[in-house]
Amino acid sequence: MKMNKYVKKFLHRGLMFSGLGCIIAAIIISSEPNLMHDGKSVLTAIVSTYFLAFIHAGTSVFHSVESWSAVKSAFFQLLTLYVSYLVCYLVNSWLSFDMAVVGIFTLVFVIVYAAVWLTVYFSIKATSKKLNKNLK
């Protein structure tokens, strides 16, 4: 069975950066010692942030799918990241399972994602324009 090149890229990128999740968990645990009370919660934090970092790094592959528009790529990345972060935060009880709290999290997540995405998009567009101008 031949693996799709985008699946390979997703797995490769995810594996390259997934270890950062453990570092993030260590920072969270060490910054607030009362946050984690037992070995199970520490292990849950380490494993869930490992998978979160894996998915986060892997989703960058969406922007390399030639047949997708920038908006479609951004939408799938947003959706994948949102679900991943929400699950991780709920599993670790870093976010309470309350519809108002989840709603606020969703709103903030979408606004921050859009701000970052638009900043990157316009920066790349300006750089491309400048390079094209220099080529002429």
Encode pLDDT of 42-80 as tens digits.
888 888 888 888 898 889 888 888 888 988 999 999 999
CA-wise closest residue to 13 among 69, 72, 77: 77
φ and ψ at 92, to 5 degrees?
-90, 0
**Is the pLDDT at 114 greater than 50, yes or no?**
yes
Taking the C-alpha atoms of residue 136 and residue 134, their distance in angstroms, rounded to an integer, is 5
Query: Residue 57: how many CB atoms within 10 A of its CB?
Result: 19
* Least confident piece of the model among 7-11, 115-119, 124-128: 7-11
Query: Model pTM?
Result: 0.79
Taking the C-alpha atoms of residue 8 and residue 4, their distance in angstroms, rounded to an integer, is 6
